[in-house]
Structure 1
Amino acid sequence: MTADAPMQRPLFALFVRLAAAATLSVMVALVKLASESGLSLPEILFWRQLPTIPLVILIFWTTGRLGRLRSKRTKQHGLRALLGIGGMFLNFGAVTLLPLAEATSLNFTSAIWAVILSALILHERVGLWRWGAVIFGFVGVLVIAQPGNGHIPLFGAGVALGAAFMIALISIAIRDLTKTEDSLTIVFYFALFTTPLLATALPFVWQAKSAEQWFYLIALGLSGLLGQYLLTSALRYGSVSSVIVMDYSALIWATLLGWSLFDRLPPATTWLGAPLIIGAGLLIAWREHQLSRPARSLAAPP
């Protein structure tokens, strides 16, 4: 059984994406707290994914929609899971290596990577506006990272850029799946495919946990499920180029959480570089909106 064709609700999608950004910012802060408490990254990822499976089944069962878990697109779900687990390792790894604000700022380059991927993989014609935005955004990356003289490790910056690259790939895969699949179904299969893989690492990293560590793991599992559902739902009701604008609000949350939980405020270079990256993303979103107007006019009913 497949989900009904999604009805586009752009304004609603923006609010959903805004809520996703806030929720996932809390999850990322919990990942950093869990890592600093001594927990390993594979174990953090395992507990991030495990609660999703029973909770999604419970939600579908109580609402009488258990049939929505059946899917004829297991290969596409498998590809999304493969990309997703790589993206999670890089994304959570960047959080453990970098301060929250810097990791979040470099994560915003996903819009820039999306332009590069559209040119290289989809063979889409990319004009001067979007190539200019790509250059503009990577100048911001250089300002933040300051190769050879920076306040953040270059390896951590590379991991964060790799995570943003994977986000661009994953967004394309999710957008395709939302054409036929329920948002929670996509989240369910992601957890179903990745949890067993992560479980194979547990014998090598398992350790006794304190009550504080269990709190971090349970809280990041629940916030991760909610954030992933909101993220997927936003792509169901709006296009990638429109909803991605709301992701930039995560920098506000990352700054506040970094200050309140880790007593760390970003330096001046981050405040100079982040607007360049955000500006590049906004320029890309605006240009894609402009380019899609003729297509929307032709598709509109007379």
Structure 2
Amino acid sequence: MSEAQARARAETTGDETQSALPADTGQPLYAAAWMFLALLSFSAMAVAGRELVGHLDTFSIMFYRSLIGFAVVASVLAVTGKFGQVKTRRIGTHFWRNVAHFTGQNLWFFAVGYITLAQLFALEFTSPIWVALAAPFFLGERFTGWRIGTTIAGFIGVLIVVRPGVTEVGIGEVTALASSVCFASNIMITKSLSRTETTLGIVFWMTLMQAVMAGVILLGQPIVPDWQVVPWVVVVGFGGLSAHFSLARAFRHADASVVAPMDFLRLPLIAFVGALAYAEALDPYVFIGGAIVFFSNYVNVWRAGRKAA
């Protein structure tokens, strides 16, 4: 989920210097096909997380998610003979990146049990806003009038989604926003790592470190899932990897200005999934606020594309 967004956004900045596949950004139909798979993966992971609420704590979910992911990535490296790509001199940077992502993902899985799926996705879209706000301090990027304006617009979108003072702001909304802040930290560190590390290397250390983090917190004793929910554990494990791979491929077949609007389709898709599967109301304020958040992000993507051109 967020991992996929972080890697894909890092790649669109031109920071990915050791990609295994050449980019061909003139194939929008291929990009649309990969984005469709990414949307399904995001939605499946959210539903699986909701189904695991009450059966597993978030640390156990993260343990199994990371373990499955590590097994898949290690198998790919073994089959392709690319274990050399995991060598790194920046193990400390990998560690702090995974602390941020691990924290954010745990908060995300916690929030999925308290708010609607549409609210969760709409608030997750705020990660680039936090990046825009923090990047001048941590990445040396400049504050511009456009950056300030789009950040303000993004926060207005958040207020429309949450509506403090009109509806009660509970633990779900707070943890969802906190997770987006952690994901923003993850995005910024990933942008730095992408200058020297490969995609496979970053994902390898992510799955390994986060499995260890969850194992240590659980003292090596994760909750053993009942057989009825084992399929949902598998969906969580494969969903994150599928979303990451699909997003990365989508950004290789089309420019960010083309892919970004497709990414926003996650919101109406998950809203209808929530309505059908959990009888969640289709709240127009979530759509309006989410659209404003998306538009503020898209303006930054569009301007970055114009500068690059």
TM-score interval (norm. to shorter)? 0.7 to 0.9
Q: Does the C-alpha gap of structure 1 residues 12 and 156 become closer, same or farther in structure 2, counting only changes over 3 Å?
A: farther
For 2:80 and 2:22, the matched residues in 1 are separated by 21
Does the Cα contact within 8 Å between 1:85 and 1:194 map onto a contact in 2?
A: yes
- Out of 73, 76, 96, which is 2:90 matched to? 73
Cα-to-partner distance string for 1:73-115 (whole Å, 9 max, x where unaligned): 3222222212211121222222222110011011111121121
2:267, 2:287 within 8 Å by CA — same for their partners in 1? no
Amino acid at match of 2:198: D
Q: 1:250 aligns with which of 233, 247, 266?
A: 266
What residue in structure 2 maps to residue 197 of structure 1?
213
* 1:177 match: 193
Which secondary structure state, in structure 1, belongs to the residue aligned with residue 298 of structure 2? helix
Alignment of 1:1-302 (within 5 A): 3=18, 7-10=22-25, 15=32, 16=34, 19-35=37-53, 37-150=54-167, 153-202=169-218, 206-207=222-223, 209-231=225-247, 244-293=260-309
Q: CA deviation at 1:243?
A: 5.3
Looking at structure 2, the residues matched to 18 and 8 of structure 1 have their Cα atoms a distance apart, in angstroms, of 19
TM-score (norm 2): 0.81
Question: Secondary structure of the residue that 1:97 maps to in structure 2?
Answer: coil
Shift in CA distance, 11/250, structure 1 to aligned 2, threshold 3 Å: farther
**Conserved 8 A contact 2:63-2:222:** no
Secondary structure at the aligned position of 1:190 is classed as helix
Q: 1:243 to 1:178 in 2, by over 3 A?
A: farther
Is the CA contact (8 Å cut-off) linking 1:183 and 1:229 kept in structure 2?
no
1:212 Cα shift? 1.8
Instruction: Please list the CA deviations of residues 242-266 of structure 1 after superposition, one character each: whole Å capped at 9, or x if unmatched.
Output: 7555431211331132123212133
Letter in structure 1 aligned against 2:139: L
CA contact (8 A) 2:272 2:282 kept: no
Deviation at 1:12, TM superposition (A): 6.2
Specify every segment of 5 or more residues in structure 2 that has no aligned partner in the other structure, as ranges: 1-16
Identity of aligned residues (%): 25
In structure 2, the partner of 1:299 is none
Q: Deviations over 1:152-211 (max 9, x none)?
A: 634322222222222222223223333333322211110111111201233597545322
* Comparing 114-123 and 236-245, the one that deviates more: 236-245
> What is the distance in 2 between the residues matched to 1:193 and 1:149?
41
Distance 2:96 2:231 in 1: 31
Aligned residues, how many? 290
